[in-house]
A and B are shown apart, each in its own frame.
Chain A
Amino acid sequence: MRGAASSPPLRRDLALISSLIQPGSRVLDLGCGDGALLRHLMGRRGCTGSGVEIDPEAVLTAVRAGVPVIELDIDQDLDRFGDQSYDAVVLSRTLQAVRRPREVLLEMIRIAPRVIVSMPNFAYWRNRLRLLAGHAPVSKDLPHSWFDSPNVHFGSLDDLERLFADLELQVMRCLPLAASGRPSLWPSRTRNWVAGAALYELTAVLVSPPEVRGGGQ
C-alpha cells in the first residue's frame, strides 16, 4: 500500500446492513452508490462482491476506492447475474425508486438466498400529517420535493410486507428505523406509524409456514 486513505466511518444505515451480513460472504450491493458498504465489507469483514450503480459520478468514486462496480440498470439487467451466485444481495433505500419493485425482488431472491432490503415508510406519522395538511411528504427518509424526487412508488411498510408475502418471501428479521436512522425504540407492531423506514432480511419461503404474513397489520 502506498499511503491509502483510511476509510471514513460507515453511515449508520449501512452499518446496520453490514451487521446482518456474515463475514466472508459474497455480496451483491444493488444501488451501491460510492461503494461505502462493500468497501467496509471487503476491508473489515473479509467479504467479496460487486456493486451495481447507474450514477456515473458514484461509480467513479467506487472505482477509486477499489470497489468492483458494474454500471447497469437494476430494472433491466439483473438477469445477467447467475442463480444463487451470491450469499447475500442488498438493496438499500432504492426499491421505491425502481420502476418494477416486484420483479426486482424476484430477481434478488433468484440471485442470493439472503435478501436485505430497506425502504422509507410513506405512512410514517409525520408523512401522514404532511398529507393531511395538503402537502406531499418531505422528511429525513423522504428528503426530496415532489418535483425532483427519484422515488416513483410511495408504499408503506404494510404495503411492502404484503408484497413480500405475495412473493413468498419470508421475513427473517425486520428492523424498524427511527428518523435518526437508529433502530426504533417503539414496539415493532407500531412500525407502520412510527418508523421512518425499515430494514428487512428476507429469504425464500421453503415450506409454507401457516402464520407468516410479514406481520404489522
Chain B
Amino acid sequence: MTLFTPDRPLNLTRGGRLDLVEVRYETYGQLSPRRDNAVFICHALTGDAHAAGFQAGADKPGWWDNLIGPGRPLDTDRFFVVCPNILGGCQGTTGPGSLNPATGQAYGLDFPILDMADFVSVHRRLCEHLGLSRLLAVIGGSLGGMQALQWALSHPSDLANACVIAASSRLSAQNIAFSAVAREAIMRDPGFHQGQYNQFGDSPDLGLSIARMMAHITYLSEEALALKFDREPERDGLNHGFGVDFAVESYLHHQGEVFLDRFDALSYLYLSRVMDYFDPFASPQATAAIAAARPNLLVCSFTSDWRFGPQHSRRVVSHLERAGVPVTYRELASDFGHDSFLLPIPRYHDTLRAFLDRAWEVGS
C-alpha cells in the first residue's frame, strides 16, 4: 500500500523527505461497525508484518502467533489487529534497500536518517488509510515497545491503551556499544561498498551474520543458553580446535545464516541507530500531552533480560507515574532473557489478557 506520495510526502524528523513510501501490513479479525476494536502491533528490530497465522506453504506461523488469534490474549474474535512492517525495514515497507525514485537505484546510505517519531508518522497514516481514528491499544515489544511509547507520548489521544514490553526509553552505553559493534561488522565487510552493495551485486553477508550472532547472544540470558546448550559438543566429542565444536556455536552460525535470507544490512544499520538516539523523556515537555490525555499504560519487563532489563522499564514507569499517567508495571520472572516477550510465558500472557480484557470492557 502506497501511503506517502509526492503530493503528500513523509517529512522526516531529522530533516529530509520521502516522496514515496510503501507499507506492507497484515490484519487479523474484523473491524467492528463502530471501528472501536482496533489493536495496532509494532514489531521489533527484525520483525515483519506477518505477526500471526500461516502464510501459504509456511511451516512456521507469524512471530507473535502465540498472542494473536481466537481465544488468545489478543483475541481475534473480538479485536481487529493491524501489524505493518516498519519504515526503514526490508520486508515490504520502504527502506534503504528500496529504489530511490530520483535515481532509479537503491537508496543505500542516501536514505534519510530515521527517528522513532517517523515510525509513528507512518503508522498514523496507515490508521488514516484504514479509517481508524482511535485505537483501542498499541502494543509492542523491544523496538516495538519504543514505538508504542513514542506514539503514546506524542499523540496520546490516538489511543486508549498502550503496552510497552521489554523496551527502553534511553539505551545504556552497553546497549549502544553492542549496536556499534554490530554496525561495524556490517560496514567493515568488503561487500558493503559504502552501502551501494546492491549496485555491485554484492552484500555484506559476513558482517550481517556476525552482527546477528552477537545480537542473538544479547537476546538470550546466560541461563537460557545454559538450559538450551550447556557445554554440549556439536558432534560426538570435543576436538580442541577452532572449528564449530560446541552446540552453542553451531546454533549461532545457524542463526547468522538464516538471518541473511530475511534481512538487509542497511535496514539493520538504520533501525538499530534509531534506538540509540531514542530519548523521549529528554524534553521537559515530554509528558505534557500524555498527562492531559491519560491513556492507560502497561509496562512489562523480564527478570533475566539484560538487553532492556527491568531498570529500563522502571525508568519508563517513573516518568509516566510522575506525570500522573495511569501506568501498570509488571516485572515478570523469566529465564529466557530479552526474547521472553515473544514467548507464551503464562504470567506474561495472563497480564496482557487481563489488561486487554479490561480495555475491551471499557472501550476506546
Is there a chain B Cβ closer than 8 Å to A3's Cβ?
yes
A68 touches B350 (CB 8 A): no
Is there a chain B Cβ closer than 8 Å to A59's Cβ?
yes
Contacts of B2 in A (CB 8 A): none
Q: Contacts A1-B363, A2-B360, A72-B331; is A66 near B296 (CB within 8 Å)?
A: yes
Q: Which residue in chain B gives the minimum CB-CB distance to A80?
A: B318
B362 touches A68 (CB 8 A): no
Q: How distant is A40 from chain B, measured CB to nearest CB, in Å? A: 16
The interface bits of chain B over 325-364 (1 if a CB of A lies within 8 angstroms of the residue's CB, else 0) are 0111111000000000000000100110011011011110
What number of B residues sit within 8 Å (CB to CB) of A? 25
Q: Contacts A71-B330, A80-B314; is A2 near B324 (CB within 8 Å)?
A: no
Q: Contacts A1-B362, A2-B361, A70-B317; is A59 near B330 (CB within 8 Å)?
A: yes
Q: How far is the CA of A68 from the CA of B320 in the complex (A)?
A: 12
- Which residues of B does A touch, CB under 8 Å? 296, 298, 314, 317-318, 321-322, 324, 326-331, 347, 350-351, 354-355, 357-358, 360-363
A60 touches B354 (CB 8 A): yes
Q: Which residue in chain B gives the minimum CB-CB distance to A2?
A: B361
The residue that B361 contacts in the complex, of A1, A60, A71, with Cβ under 8 A, is A1
Known: A68-B328, A71-B330. 7 other contacts (CB 8 A): A50-B327, A63-B328, A63-B351, A63-B358, A64-B354, A64-B358, A80-B314
Interface centre among A48, A63, A81, A85 (most CB of B within 10 A): A63
Q: Which residue in chain A gives the minimum CB-CB distance to B314?
A: A80
Q: How distant is A143 from chain B, measured CB to nearest CB, in Å? A: 27
- For the side of the interface on A, what is the size category? 20 to 34
Is there a chain B Cβ closer than 8 Å to A114's Cβ?
no
B331 touches A4 (CB 8 A): no
Contacts of B314 in A (CB 8 A): 80
Is there a chain B Cβ closer than 8 Å to A69's Cβ?
yes
Q: Which residue in chain B gives the minimum CB-CB distance to A28?
A: B321
Contacts of A81 in B (CB 8 A): 321
Is there a chain B Cβ closer than 8 Å to A167's Cβ?
no
Q: Which residue in chain B gives the minimum CB-CB distance to A62?
A: B328
- Can you give 30 A-B contacts (C-beta < 8 A)? A1-B362, A2-B362, A4-B361, A26-B324, A48-B324, A56-B347, A59-B328, A59-B351, A60-B351, A60-B354, A61-B354, A63-B298, A63-B328, A63-B330, A63-B354, A64-B358, A65-B358, A66-B296, A66-B358, A66-B361, A68-B296, A68-B326, A68-B327, A68-B328, A69-B328, A71-B329, A80-B314, A80-B317, A80-B318, A81-B321
Interface centre among B298, B328, B357, B362 (most CB of A within 10 A): B328
Q: How far is the CA of A26 from the CA of B331 in the complex (A)?
A: 24
B327 touches A2 (CB 8 A): no
A71 touches B326 (CB 8 A): no
Contacts of B361 in A (CB 8 A): 1-4, 66
A4 touches B362 (CB 8 A): yes
Contacts of B363 in A (CB 8 A): 1-2
The interface bits of chain A over 31-67 (1 if a CB of B lies within 8 angstroms of the residue's CB, else 0) are 0000000000000000010100000100111111110
A82 touches B322 (CB 8 A): yes
Q: How distant is A82 from chain B, measured CB to nearest CB, in Å? A: 5
Q: Which residue in chain B gives the minimum CB-CB distance to A3?
A: B361
Q: Contacts A1-B363, A2-B360; is A60 near B350 (CB within 8 Å)?
A: yes
Contacts of A48 in B (CB 8 A): 324, 326
